[in-house]
Amino acid sequence: MKTSTLAALFLLGTGAVGASFGAGCVGAIGADDGSAIGSGPGGPNGTNPPGTNPAGLRDPGSKTIHRLNRAEYDNTVRDLLNTALRPSSDFPSDDHGYGYDNIADVLSLSPLQLELYERAAERLVDEAFAKPDMVAKLIPCKIEEDACAATAINAFATRAFRRPVTEDDTTKLLSFVALAKGEGQSALEGVKLAMRATLVSPHFLFRIELDPDPSSTAPHALNDYELASRLSYFLWSSMPDQALFASAASGKLHEPEELKAQALRMLNDPRSASMVENFAGQWLHTRDLDEYTVEAKVYPGFDDTLRKSMKKETELFFAEFLRGDLDMKGFLTADFTFVDNRLATHYGITAPATPWSKITMDTSKRRGLLGLGGILTMTSMPNRTSPVKRGRWVLEQMLCTPPPPPPPGVEGLKPEETVMGTLRQRMEAHRKQAVCASCHNMMDPIGFGLENFDGIGKWRTEEAGITIDATGKLPITNQAFTGPSELASALAEDARVGRCITQHLFTYAMGRGATATDEIYLDEISGNTKSSGNRMRDLIMQIVTSEPFRMRRAGGAS
């Protein structure tokens, strides 16, 4: 059977599918009566535990139905089918919102993408059934027996849908076995067809959270299976594992201590590397290093080896905070990093005896994130540094204080302006134009503090034969500094930094932008994180036990 026919048959029989694909739709999908699906914390049908929705509860926000993005899709099929295939390499790029590619509001679904999902499903199932060990896992019974097909399909769909299947699910999926037999094929071919249908189902492609009463805006707790998916896609960018499923099935996952225990377990799992790549890579902008190019004539020392080393340094640095016991102020003031021989040569330091060893740095030059070559490179132009891009990066990623958009028609530095004096001198002349001052007065004074680093992060003291002036000040507080080390110290003491990191991680965890009603939650999460140790794990625990993470209301995206 052609996959397009398979998809059409399955989608037409999947409940309120038409509504579910629309932005803002959060209504029931699958269960014909609109009730929640699965066995949740309060018993069958995922009803909410008693006492979790008291009168006067604050608004935890709502969220559009959430399609798996490319990374989540690949990781999910990896864990579901033990495959090394990366089908998303053929998918269209995911759109970004609020700086991240896992924002539900922008993850639309086009006819082309559905066709590519169909092709991927066929390829994934064919590969799985070509492996005897996977066949044994997928069909742990004799396929000739009448009940075997239902057993295999239910087990697979339960994991793929990330919650217990309903009778209606089973009926629809078994219809593909009957269809195959009706065309003279075997029950095994029918099971394969049903599994392909499972992989094009909205229950697989979307992270579905149901509202007991879609017409009500009263907050309610997620059922434990929905909560398990929120947690696993936050920390792993993938489906829950067996231990997390078991916690959800027990009806205990919503309990704060159990939620914390599961989160800590998951942070210690190798799959938390996805959080390093997908959260840190986007927060710090270093995930884009793979595609970044510089002008070879200006920076002949930059090559693919250095590019990869810069990216790995940033990942190892962030992972040290994710899994370690470090105060998050160290993101800015840390005296350590991780280097291999290539990066050590680039930095002009002694190479470690063992590549990627943790080494101590000269903090008069390099400290924390602002000394990492990958970040310094990504915030430069291909042929020179950029105080504007570096200042903006600090404003947006560290202070959550974005500059106003440039007025229409404003141009950057003209080519003839780039040959006289230092870049700072040229930028200061450019900034004297009144129309440019509003933006540049915020960005430039921060970026000037990083001018001791060239466009690929090498240390320098002169530009065009002139000693670099690395003085600057932070906006609003007007805290003065000289050079990157003092800039890092000034930022580390700025209360806006901790609050900003909280906002970025909250946005990523929730898959939606923070709204005005979230401000009180962000203040609480940030304050509680600081008082409990100010470690990354403290921040994660505060987020996963917060009301917005554990609850939702109907009414579409906030």
Return the structure tokens found at 133: 């060990």
Residue 42's pLDDT is what? 33
pLDDT at 30 over 70: no
pLDDT at 380 over 70: yes
Residues 299 and 215 in one domain: no
Helix 224-235 to helix 536-544 angle (10° resolution) is 150
Query: Longest C-alpha distance within the chain, in Å?
Result: 84
CB 72 within 8 A of CB 237: yes
Q: Is 278 contained in some domain?
A: no
CB 161 within 8 A of CB 204: yes
CB 117 within 8 A of CB 206: no
CB 247 within 8 A of CB 228: yes
Determine the Cα–Cα distance for residues 255 and 401; give it in Å rounded to an integer. 35
Residues 204 and 298 in one domain: no
Among residues 175, 203, 221, the one where a domain terminates is: 221
pLDDT at 427 over 80: no
Of all residues in the chain, the percent with pLDDT exceeding 90 is: 79
Residue 239's pLDDT is what? 98
Q: Is 271 contained in some domain?
A: no
Among residues 472, 503, 525, the one where a domain terminates is: 472
pLDDT band at residue 404, thresholds of 50, 70 and 90?
confident
The beta-strand segments (E) located in 118-228 are 206-207, 220-221
In terms of Cβ atoms closer than 10 Å to its own Cβ (0-12, 13-18, 19+), residue 379 is buried
Determine the Cα–Cα distance for residues 525 and 543; give it in Å rounded to an integer. 7
Task: Considering only CA atoms, give the Rg of the chain.
Answer: 26
The larger pLDDT score, comparing residue 448 to residue 19, is at 448
Note the pLDDT tens digit of each residue in 294-341: 999 999 999 999 999 999 999 999 999 999 999 999 999 999 999 999
Neighbours of 397 (CB within 10 A): 21
Structural domain of residue 122, as residue ranges?
Answer: 3-221
Residue 40's pLDDT is what? 31
pLDDT at 50 over 50: no
Note the pLDDT tens digit of each residue in 528-547: 999 999 999 999 999 999 99
The larger pLDDT score, comparing residue 91 to residue 16, is at 91
Tell me the whole-structure pTM to 2 decimals. Answer: 0.89
Residues 184 and 304 in one domain: no
Residues 210 and 351 in one domain: no
DSSP of 191-210: HHHHHHHHHTSHHHHEE---
Residues 465 and 354 in one domain: yes
Residue 421's pLDDT is what? 67
pLDDT at 425 over 90: no
Q: Which of 204, 213, 5, 166 is nearest to 87 (CA)?
A: 204
Among residues 195, 221, 247, the one where a domain terminates is: 221
Distance of CA 30 to the CA centre of its chain: 27
Residues 171 and 298 in one domain: no
Torsion of CA 308, 311, 312, 316, to 10 degrees: 170
Determine the Cα–Cα distance for residues 68 and 117; give it in Å rounded to an integer. 11
What kind and span of H or E run contains 119? helix 111-129
Residue 406's pLDDT is what? 75
- Alpha helix positions (H), 210-303: 224-235, 242-250, 256-267, 273-275, 281-283
Of all residues in the chain, the percent with pLDDT exceeding 70 is: 84
Q: Is 236 contained in some domain?
A: no
Determine the Cα–Cα distance for residues 391 and 369; give it in Å rounded to an integer. 14
Q: Which residues contact 240 (CB under 8 A, 6 or more apart)?
A: 162, 228, 229, 231, 232, 248
Determine the Cα–Cα distance for residues 421 and 205; give it in Å rounded to an integer. 55
Q: Which residues contact 35 (CB under 8 A, 6 or more apart)?
A: 28, 45, 46, 210, 212
Q: Is 558 contained in some domain?
A: no
Residue 1's pLDDT is what? 55
What kind and span of H or E run contains 359? strand 357-360
SS3 assignment, position 327: strand
Determine the Cα–Cα distance for residues 52 and 48; give it in Å rounded to an integer. 7
DSSP of 444-490: HHHHGGGTTB-TTS-B-SEETTEE---EEE-TTT--EEEHHHHHHHH
Q: Is 162 contained in some domain?
A: yes
Q: Is 460 contained in some domain?
A: yes
Burial code (b: 16+ CB inside 10 Å, e: under 16) for 293-325 equals ebeeeebeebeeebbbbbbbbbbebbbbbbeee
Note the pLDDT tens digit of each residue in 343-355: 999 999 999 999 9
Residues 161 and 299 in one domain: no
DSSP of 410-430: -----GGGGGSS-HHHHHHHH
Q: Is 97 contained in some domain?
A: yes
Note the pLDDT tens digit of each residue in 195-249: 999 999 999 999 999 999 888 889 999 999 999 999 999 999 999 999 999 999 9
CB 374 within 8 A of CB 337: no
Burial code (b: 16+ CB inside 10 Å, e: under 16) for 58-72 equals ebbbbbbbbbbbbbb
Q: Rounded mean pLDDT of the chain? A: 88
Kind of pairing between the strands at 462-463 and 206-207: unpaired
Note the pLDDT tens digit of each residue in 491-524: 999 999 999 999 999 999 999 999 999 999 999 9
Residues 77 and 215 in one domain: yes
Distance, first Cα to last Cα, the chain: 41
**383, amino acid identity:** N
Determine the Cα–Cα distance for residues 529 and 327; give it in Å rounded to an integer. 10
Determine the Cα–Cα distance for residues 337 and 344; give it in Å rounded to an integer. 10
Total domains present in the chain: 2
Residues 201 and 67 in one domain: yes
Q: Is 364 contained in some domain?
A: yes
| Torsion 284-106-545-224 (CA) sign | negative
Determine the Cα–Cα distance for residues 58 and 91; give it in Å rounded to an integer. 39
Determine the Cα–Cα distance for residues 547 and 527; give it in Å rounded to an integer. 15
